[in-house]
Structure 1
């Protein structure tokens, strides 16, 4: 892939804000450009699945009025944004990717949407997701499959696949995502954008069936690291409805690194099968970039084997709690992945739960010991390149059969179990032009460090500027 001129819709959100502040662009003009892009490109990739441009135009007009009147400019003032279809949006259809809710229109916003609106976002639509966020390939029986802007016959990842594809194609200035098993990081890597899984509590979640959920979190996505940091600032901070929330918002902006870091370079995240094409990009582009930046990079492989059974059990119990009552009555219209996860969870007992908690603790303690020697762990985000969109999930990697749709996602969800923060940053492309992301991992509450390193890496290797194939149509 080659660097290209950045058009208005694919410019960074921070650049769009600067143009709005200088009066070179109005919020209504930016929304109009986004609508034209949506009408031309979305039929190719199916990233944005529900829209209300009338409401968005009213919000854009209000944003322009505020600027003209000299009122305080809010952090996302005038930016057109599409929200993940797992989040409730008042007055705008929210299906969760499920036929059970195909015509559902909420009367109130979720906390994530509430904060984006309060920050001045011009919300015009919803981004596609697999049913109830189940899986890292975005398809469902309501809207069909989202495909990759860099290769429209390939997967955009998931469950925030619609968000990642929308960002890559210039259909949203920034985007919210959520991540239990990699749903922020996996699609970011597949679509050449940035996805940050923050520490549990950094971004509060409401409403929720389990206010003490410690495996899944909402988080920011952007075309650039600075854009993701901007949205993280907006989404972070305490809320009385979320008992695990950190009380204070993360400070705006990204600090410069004080000096070189000790970076552990992991090729397999503890022995996973990784497609050689992924390793070749990471070793050929990512590793030299970190070394050129002056960091001390050493080979490291963390011990994460116990993360595998712990994740499956904790996820399964969550699915049993959330969907157990649905599968008997609605099995025929629920995705096979959701049914399988729920039935697995229903078969678990208290001994399975307590063992999973102990396994998770041992994994965490092992990571704490590892980070006595390193500051950041660098690793693959995904085990494979974006795969054909008609596949539900990769059935084998390097000739090794994958037991189910969760197996191939372990490069992301092994980190979810640790509770560490992680960011996927664009790293490069395979010879056929398929994106590859680099995962940077640090202890809980280290988002500022990760953003600082990721921005430095992005400046050294600005592959986000490479335009998707879908835009040339």
Structure 2
């Protein structure tokens, strides 16, 4: 990133006299979101960990707080909170992290500012490759695996100045929306620690909700950014297909079902992280070439007259736990409060066919990435049954079946495209159940209907995944038991900015994250 144009002594005087305006000279990549943040400086370690990411970034850039102070505050907080939730794993040695923080302070002192994440602690999801930190994928097979190359999203946050303190927990190979594995154990929900945190970015969502990270990355194939966002009252965004390049990977054309994205406690923080994650990379030829700096821009927008289609439970097709539909329909009033009109809408498509399409393409994708492990029978005992079922299912498919599923997927996209000729956005609940017992592998039934696979209870998220559309989880509130739920806001193809803007407007009306922090923090 850009160095400051002033000498060190002049820079100190410049910072002192011009405050936030100094950021414009230091790092244009901060964008208008950061420059608009006017939160006062920190008075305590508690102020540091409770701050939104953009305020923390500004404090560091202005040297109102040192990177060492930030690191100490976060590590002390992690030491107190993480044993209760088990969200951060492979935590690195304190002395080494403090040495990295000192180095970031020396860089600032010398006028070398790396970017908006300069000195901020980060813990990538344990599916993302990290040089120097084990990447287990939640599997005992990889419990000692040290990658030789960072994932692209990891490269980019390092370049923006982040310090990697460890990883966030994930289910084995990211399969299932319940974060447990035989390497690190189970991650507890931020609001009730004996309940499921969601997944597969469960560790990321809980670390974020409990203020152990300022922002978090995750990945999403079957709601893995959205579901844990809903279960932990934070924002999780599955971007448009190709928006955040996934890799480096040995296969760059068919792996289009799951990819990475940002999570945040505010939409502005999330958008800023997306501006770092997004952008074309020649190693992933299908990545989108639009300038990612747009996401660091203005999120305010007038939504008067905006039309929203409410998909709900697809006319009763999906079973829903009692209370979810009522809670989500109440949350729709917040969209009306900002000028939107909301009406019931349904795609012209067989939802059972959509599920069968999902099964085929998920089998195909999982088998493609893991068939090398499956080919070694001695490893089967170290793989959970759901992984073996997915791989075996994929290996049994014919090329004709896979191609037909791709055709069906294309027809589903077309049915949503036609809906977007009438509606600006589509909205539906994020999950079909509230957070459940952490000792339960997955819900066996919902509202009296049996679940025939380990992931059938997550069916509500597959529409956005199969269409490759931008989808944001926004908090929808809490049930009588104090358990959170979320809504999915879905936009047309590559309308990521529009989804962020509607989410931001909704956030200003609701403020669920700020008004309802986890009791662990008190």
**Does 2:299 align with 1:255?**
yes
Residue 131 of structure 2, aligned match among 90, 95, 117: 90
Runs of 4+ in 1 over 3 A off after TM superposition: none
Structure 2 residue matching 1:248: 3-state secondary structure: coil
Larger RCO (CA within 8 A; separation ≥ 6): 1
Gap runs ≥5 in structure 2: 1-45
**Does 2:280 align with 1:238?**
yes
Residue 338 of structure 2, aligned match among 293, 296, 317: 293
C-alpha displacement at 1:73, in angstroms? 5.0
Moved more, 302-311 or 173-182: 302-311
Q: Which residue matches 1:325?
A: 372
Structure 1 residue matching 2:165: 3-state secondary structure: strand
Instruction: Decide whether the 8 Å contact of 1:209 with 1:322 is kept in 2.
Output: no
More strand by share: 1
**Does 2:453 align with 1:409?**
no
Residue 174 of structure 2, aligned match among 133, 149, 164: 133
**Does 2:271 align with 1:229?**
yes
Structure 1 residue matching 2:193: 3-state secondary structure: strand
Q: Distance in 2 between matches of 1:81 and 1:165?
A: 13
Q: Distance in 2 between matches of 1:377 and 1:199?
A: 15
C-alpha displacement at 1:51, in angstroms? 1.3
Residue 11 of structure 1, aligned match among 51, 64, 75: 51
Change (3 A) 1:303 1:434: farther
Q: TM-score, normalization: structure 2?
A: 0.87
Residue 146 of structure 1, aligned match among 164, 177, 187: 187
Structure 2 residue matching 1:100: 3-state secondary structure: helix
C-alpha displacement at 1:303, in angstroms? 4.1
Instruction: Decide whether the 8 Å contact of 1:254 with 1:451 is kept in 2.
Output: no
Residue 205 of structure 2, aligned match among 164, 168, 181: 164
Q: Which residue matches 2:479?
A: 430
Q: Distance in 2 between matches of 1:301 and 1:191?
A: 28
Q: Distance in 2 between matches of 1:188 and 1:418?
A: 20
Aligned length: 466
Moved more, 294-303 or 63-72: 63-72
Instruction: Decide whether the 8 Å contact of 2:347 with 2:419 is kept in 1.
Output: yes
Q: Which residue matches 1:3?
A: none
Change (3 A) 1:341 1:95: same
Instruction: Decide whether the 8 Å contact of 1:152 with 1:470 is kept in 2.
Output: no
Deviations 1:55-106 (A, max 9, x none): 4323322222232333345021121111100111111111111100111122
Structure 1 residue matching 2:372: 3-state secondary structure: coil
Q: Which residue matches 1:46?
A: 86
Instruction: Decide whether the 8 Å contact of 1:226 with 1:253 is kept in 2.
Output: no
C-alpha displacement at 1:259, in angstroms? 3.4
Q: Distance in 1 between matches of 2:346 and 2:90?
A: 43
Gap runs ≥5 in structure 1: 1-5
Residue 72 of structure 2, aligned match among 32, 48, 59: 32
Q: Distance in 1 between matches of 2:47 and 2:216?
A: 18
Moved more, 203-212 or 108-117: 203-212
**Does 2:517 align with 1:467?**
yes
**1:353-392 to 2 correspondences below 5 Å:** 353-392=402-441
Q: Distance in 2 between matches of 1:200 and 1:116?
A: 20
Structure 1 residue matching 2:402: 3-state secondary structure: helix
Q: TM-score, normalization: structure 1?
A: 0.95
**Does 2:117 align with 1:76?**
yes
Residue 100 of structure 2, aligned match among 49, 59, 62: 59
